[in-house]
Structure 1
Amino acid sequence: MRAIILAAGLGLRLQQQPGEQFPKCLLRFDGMTLLERHLQMLDAAGVHEVVLALGFQPESVEAELKRIGWPRPVEIMLNPRYDLGSVLTVHTVADALTRGGDVLLMDADVLYDERILAALVAGDHANRLLIDRDFETGDEPVKLCLKDGVPVELRKQVAANLAYDTIGESVGFFRLREETAQRFAQIVAGYIDSGRANLPHEEAVRDLLLERSHVFETADVTGAPWIEIDFPNDVERASADILPLLQPLVGAPR
């Protein structure tokens, strides 16, 4: 199993001061960056093959890898047009998507409990989504809607006439089987070829779900603490509300 961590963006919505911007994966909570937390949790879960999709200030992320002395190889792939949508970043790492085995596609800007990752990696081979039914309504969360357990929508805006029986927020992590990852890479390439490189990669995931060519499981992680960090108040909430609920991490492998 391979983890692809998407960490290319500018993080403009955090409203950092000019000259003080840095990749969101370098945000620190209790002295540890999100990047180090990702690596430690993946390693503890038995996922040792990690690909970092970088763009903005890649040297800062590389410096963090050296600072923490991470002992396992981490493959770095660069998206030079990181100012465009994340679908272009996914296209940049198409080789990592399609080289075989299950793939975890993960946003870098998430602070999360080990139960979140455990639900994602459980079992041998699976296509899996994560849903949190306890979410704040509004325009920002990416909603995942199910009908009889089948995904019928993955978007921030849900059509008023959509028929579904379950709705929740999609955690920014997806698990894809080998053949599903290959189809996903094809869909992403279609976005690039048709001039839609400025779109979020969730739109391509949505297309994959709705074409129904691959069966997806949905793991309910309601009650497990996590937060996606987009705005300054998310940083405050992460420190005050989420961090105290997380299980302590084991040390880095040696």
Structure 2
Amino acid sequence: MRAIILAAGLGLRLQQPPQQQFPKCLLRFNGITLLERHLHALKAAGVTDIVLALGFQPEQIEAELATLGWQPKPEIVLNPRYDLGSVLTVHTVADALTRGGDVLLMDADVLYDEAILRKLVADDSADRLLIDRDFEAGDEPVKLCVKDGVPVELRKQLAVGLQYDTIGESVGFFRFREETALRLAQIVAGYVDSGRANMPHEEAVRDLLLEGGHTFDVADVTGLPWIEIDFPNDVARAADEVLPRLPVTTGAAR
């Protein structure tokens, strides 16, 4: 199993002064970066084949890896046009998507309980999404809608009249079987070739869900602490509400 961590963006919505901007995966909580927490969580889950998709200030992330002395060292792939959408970042790691085995596709800017990752990697090979049914309504969360156990929508904006029996927020972590990861790479390439490289990668995942031919299961992580960090108030919530609920061992071992 291989993990691809998307960490290329500028994080403009954090509203940092230009001279103070840095990749969001280097945000520290209790002195530990999100990147280090990802690495420890993946190692605990038995995943050591890790690819980092970088763009903005990659040298800072490489310096953090050097400080950690992490082994085996994650593979680094650079997206020079990181100012465009995350679809292009996924396209830059197409080789990692298609070289075989199950693939985890993960946003880097998430503080989370390791139990969430365990739900993603549990059992045999699978196409899997994560859903949190306890979420704040609004335009920002990427909603995952399920009907009769089948995902029927993955989007921030839902169409009027959409039929579903379960709705929640997508955690932003996905697991794909080898053949499904290959198909996702093809869909992403189509986005880039048709001039839609500025789109979020969730749109390509949505296309994968809705085209059929793939059986996705949905793991429920409701009640487990996590937060995606996009805005300044998310940093405060991460420190005040999520961090105190995480096991003390998360990211603690050096």
Q: Same fold (TM over 0.5)?
A: yes
Trace 1:10-159 onto structure 2 (pairs within 5 A). Answer: 10-159=10-159
The residue type paired with residue 91 of structure 1 is H
Tell me how far apart the structure 2 counterparts of residues 76 and 184 of structure 1 sit (CA, whole Å).
20
How big is the shift at 1:71? 2.3
SS in 2 for 1:238: helix
Tell me how far apart the structure 2 counterparts of residues 58 and 250 of structure 1 sit (CA, whole Å).
22
Aligned counterpart, 1:234: 234
SS in 2 for 1:19: helix
Aligned counterpart, 1:215: 215
Tell me how far apart the structure 1 counterparts of residues 250 and 30 of structure 2 sit (CA, whole Å).
11
Contact 2:111–2:228 (Cα < 8 Å) also in 1? yes
Aligned counterpart, 2:250: 249
Contact 1:53–1:77 (Cα < 8 Å) also in 2? yes
The residue type paired with residue 14 of structure 1 is L
When the two structures are superposed, what TM-score results if normalisation uses the length of structure 1?
Answer: 0.98
Contact 1:70–1:252 (Cα < 8 Å) also in 2? no
1:73-127 residue CA offsets vs partner (Å, 9 max, x unmatched): 2100000000000000000000000000000000000000011101000012000
The residue type paired with residue 87 of structure 1 is V
1:105-151 residue CA offsets vs partner (Å, 9 max, x unmatched): 00000000011101000012000000000000000000000010111
How big is the shift at 1:250? 5.9
| Identical aligned residues as a percent | 78
Trace 1:182-193 onto structure 2 (pairs within 5 A). Answer: 182-193=182-193
Tell me how far apart the structure 1 counterparts of residues 205 and 173 of structure 2 sit (CA, whole Å).
11
Tell me how far apart the structure 1 counterparts of residues 44 and 118 of structure 2 sit (CA, whole Å).
10
Unaligned segments of structure 1, at least 5 residues: none
The residue type paired with residue 157 of structure 1 is Q
Aligned counterpart, 2:176: 176
The count of corresponding residues between Structure 1 and Structure 2 is 253
Aligned counterpart, 2:200: 200
In terms of mean alpha carbon deviation, does 107-116 or 65-74 score higher? 65-74
The residue type paired with residue 104 of structure 2 is L
Unaligned segments of structure 2, at least 5 residues: none
Tell me how far apart the structure 2 counterparts of residues 132 and 251 of structure 1 sit (CA, whole Å).
26
What do you get for the CA RMSD once the two structures are aligned? 0.9
Contact 1:25–1:109 (Cα < 8 Å) also in 2? yes
Contact 2:109–2:229 (Cα < 8 Å) also in 1? yes
How big is the shift at 1:251? 5.1
Contact 1:131–1:220 (Cα < 8 Å) also in 2? yes
1:196-236 residue CA offsets vs partner (Å, 9 max, x unmatched): 00000000000000001211000000000000000000000
